[in-house]
Amino acid sequence: MKYRITHKTAYRYSEPASLSQNELFLHPRETDTQRVVQNRLAIVPEPQYLHRRTDYFGNIAYVFMVQQPHDELTMTATSIVETHLPVTPAPAGTPPWEDVMRRLAAHAHPAELAACQFVFGSPLAAVAPGALAYARPSFPPGTPVLAGAMALMQRIFTEFTYDRSATTVDTTVDQVLATRKGVCQDFAHLAIGCLRALGLAARYVSGYLETKPPPGKPKLIGADASHAWVSLFVPNAGWVDLDPTNNQVAGENHITLAWGRDYGDVTPVKGVVMGGGVHMLSVLLDVAPQT
């Protein structure tokens, strides 16, 4: 598949802001199943400082500063990306989850050493007793690790309600377990917390998902939304991406932006502003297939 992604974030201020400093994770990653054909970033007003860097996890980030009075700030990232269907191992043929846990704890091989950093809790995906208790039914003794993770994903999809008003960006795994409501970010954090509580390696993936309009309805330009899912480390197979919001293995319609321990590592747009009075935010996102 080939996609053109336009992600526009705009802030309007009730009075001029004197300074704005931001960090952006809006450059899609190069992976075994994804190639970035083009990426452009436009910032208005033009920043006095703009720096591109690669973070600890290998994501591309842009840091910029506008140091002049401005009553509006617009950031538009336009990308063309080619994706390919990932090769997913047969779930029943993956190692028992206990063996994977032990291999990660020993981290005798380079791939397992790199993966074991995602076994530990993080600010938004803590390893908590509640997450462990919720994970247990999906992982009886001897369960193949990917089969258990897919069973966990299906339970989250079935037992939790998608509700945009139920959570915030700071909602914890325990709060999601208590309310049984949330959005893709929450369901990814929950799955990650459950897997890490078992000693497995799971990371948070930020990206986009091509959405389809209801039958007979036109696709609304700019009405798409950012997406998030979880990636599980499977020895000898690598990382397998699972989307608990939609109960599916991530496919060629999932476009990867960045990955880290949780949402806090890969927030698409974050920053600080001096002045500006009341801030009004608008986000327009369009994921369009290309021929």
Amino acid at 201: A
Q: Are 182 and 165 in contact (CB under 8 A)?
A: no
Cα 74–chain centre separation: 22
Can the peptide bond before residue 28 be classed as cis, meaning omega within 30 degrees of 0?
A: no
**Percent of all residues in the chain with a pLDDT value above 70, rounded to a whole number:** 98
User: Please, which pLDDT band fits residue 225 given cuts at 50, 70 and 90?
Assistant: confident
> Is the pLDDT score of 222 beyond 80?
no
**Percent of all residues in the chain with a pLDDT value above 90, rounded to a whole number:** 91
The answer as to CATH 3.10.620.30 being correct for domain 91-264 is yes
Q: Residue ranges of the domains in the chain?
A: 2-84+267-289, 91-264
Q: Are 226 and 204 in contact (CB under 8 A)?
A: no
* Per-residue pLDDT at 224: 80
Model pLDDT for residues 30-57, shown as the tens digit of each residue? 999 999 999 999 999 999 999 999 999 9
What is the CATH topology of the domain spanning 2-84+267-289?
Answer: Immunoglobulin-like (2.60.40)
Model pLDDT for residues 236-276, shown as the tens digit of each residue? 999 999 999 999 999 999 999 999 999 999 999 999 999 99
Own/partner pairs, 106-114, CB within 8 angstroms, 24+ separation: 111/233, 111/235, 111/238, 112/233, 112/235
User: Please, which pLDDT band fits residue 211 given cuts at 50, 70 and 90?
Assistant: confident
> What does DSSP say about strands 238-243 and 226-234: parallel, antiparallel, or unpaired?
antiparallel
What is the arithmetic mean of pLDDT over 109-117?
Answer: 96
> What does DSSP say about strands 161-162 and 181-182: parallel, antiparallel, or unpaired?
parallel
Mean pLDDT of the chain: 94
